[in-house]
Amino acid sequence: MRQSVSDSGDSEQPGFQQIVNGFLLQPGLPFADVLSSEKINRIFRKHGGLFGKDGIYNTPIVLWAFLGQVLRDG
């Protein structure tokens, strides 16, 4: 059975969707301010997962897009 996050909490406390919207409604890619390209590259390089160095879809772009889709689609 699939469970979902409910947004029916106390109106004084921000719901999950309000937090998500804080990332999704910003100009640019979600999390780009929180996870810099340099930080993503450093961590992925450390663990041998760096890819797309000279490509359009490099590691930071793919990670930011993935996180944005997860937040948008739940």
Q: What is the pLDDT of residues 22-60, one digit of tens each?
A: 766 777 766 777 888 899 999 999 999 999 888 889 999
pLDDT of residue 13: 53
Distances (CA, A) of 47 to 41, 53, 68: 10, 15, 23
Is the pLDDT confidence value at 8 over 70?
no
3-state secondary structure of 19: helix
Mean pLDDT of 6-17: 58
Name the DSSP class of 15. P
Name the DSSP class of 55. S
Is the pLDDT confidence value at 1 over 60?
no
Q: What distance in Å separates the CA atoms of residue 42 and residue 24, rounded to the nearest whole number?
A: 24
If one counts every other C-beta atom within 10 angstroms of the C-beta of residue 58, the result is 17
Is the pLDDT confidence value at 3 over 80?
no
Q: What distance in Å separates the CA atoms of residue 54 and residue 51, rounded to the nearest whole number?
A: 9
